[in-house]
Amino acid sequence: MMLLKLAIQKSGRLHDDSVKLLKECGIEISNNVKNQLKATASNFPLEVFFLRDDDIPQYVEDGVADIGFVGENVIYESKKNVTVTELLGFGKCRLSIAVGKNEPYPNVQCLESKKIATSYPVLLQKFLDENKVNAEIHEISGSVEIAPGIGLADAICDLVSSGSTLFMNGLQETEVILKSESALIKTPTLSGEKQRILDKLLFRIQTVKKAKN
């Protein structure tokens, strides 16, 4: 029996919505998925792998997983050769630039020669290049929002959803460089048989999405 291999986040902001979407598609996977590395659906030809979200594009590019559910921010930052096949409607956020709330920000040119802290150096560099701005990118892996307050950077580029983290750190959002939500990505080469399983899954996902609109 051929199984389509799906990678989803093991734990974190996308995990519950990923499992919920499968459930809404009528796909049953065992209850206690949190402590497992993989699970097989009982009523659909699907095997689910639980991974760090950052690792999902690589696994899908390599074909270790056929498809994955992961944020567009992670997909485009990774530069992996995968196809975004369907947007999933959860995990919505934006990748934005923010500066101190009292800093003047007339336009993007005011970032010239500034230090910007981010976990998204690829997407930030692309944005700066498109706007012909030279700035110094400081790559840090977490707690980006505190960087201006401790004198590590003049600005940040980080994910925002409600905006309360920026507010609590005395920052103002000045540019949105990417709007992101979770997406289904697909490996570059999929056998005909697996593509047919994927088509069935996509049909169900589209039906679930339509019912929500």
175 touching Zn ion, by CB under 5 A: no
At its nearest, how many Å lie between Zn ion and the CB of residue 74? 7
Rounded Cα distance, 210 and 42, in Å: 25
55 touching Zn ion, by CB under 5 A: no
Out of 53, 66, 154, 175, the only residue in the binding site for ligand PRT (CB under 6 A) is: 53
User: Around Cβ 186, how many Cβ atoms within 10 Å?
Assistant: 21
Rounded Cα distance, 48 and 3, in Å: 10
175 touching ligand PRT, by CB under 6 A: no
Q: Which is nearer to ligand PRT, 53 or 197 (CB)?
A: 53
54 touching Zn ion, by CB under 5 A: yes
58 touching ligand PRT, by CB under 6 A: no
Q: Which is nearer to ligand PRT, 43 or 162 (CB)?
A: 162
Q: Label residues 102-126 b or e (16+ Cβ within 10 Å = b).
A: eeebeebebbeeebbbbbbeebbee
From 24-32, 58-66, 67-75, 126-134, span contacting ligand PRT (CB under 6 A): 67-75
Pairing of strands 93-100, 155-160: antiparallel
160 touching ligand PRT, by CB under 6 A: yes
Could you say which of ligand PRT, Zn ion, none residue 38 binds, taking C-beta under 5 to 8 angstroms by partner kind? none
Out of 73, 78, 96, 169, the only residue in the binding site for ligand PRT (CB under 6 A) is: 73
In 3-state terms the chain splits into helix, strand, coil percentages (rounded to 5) of 35, 30, 35
118 touching ligand PRT, by CB under 6 A: no
159 touching ligand PRT, by CB under 6 A: yes
Q: Taking CB under 6 A as the rule, which mask of x and - marks residues 77-116 in contact with ligand PRT?
A: --------------x-x-----------------------
CB 123 within 8 A of CB 95: yes
The residue ranges of DSSP E strands in the chain, in sequence order, are 4-9, 38-40, 46-51, 67-71, 83-87, 93-100, 115-118, 136-139, 155-160, 171-180, 182-186
CA atoms 30, 189, 76, 120: torsion sign: positive
Out of 17, 24, 54, 103, the only residue in the binding site for ligand PRT (CB under 6 A) is: 54
Q: Which residue ranges make up the site for ligand PRT (CB under 6 A)?
A: 9, 12-14, 52-54, 71, 73-74, 91, 93, 158-165, 180
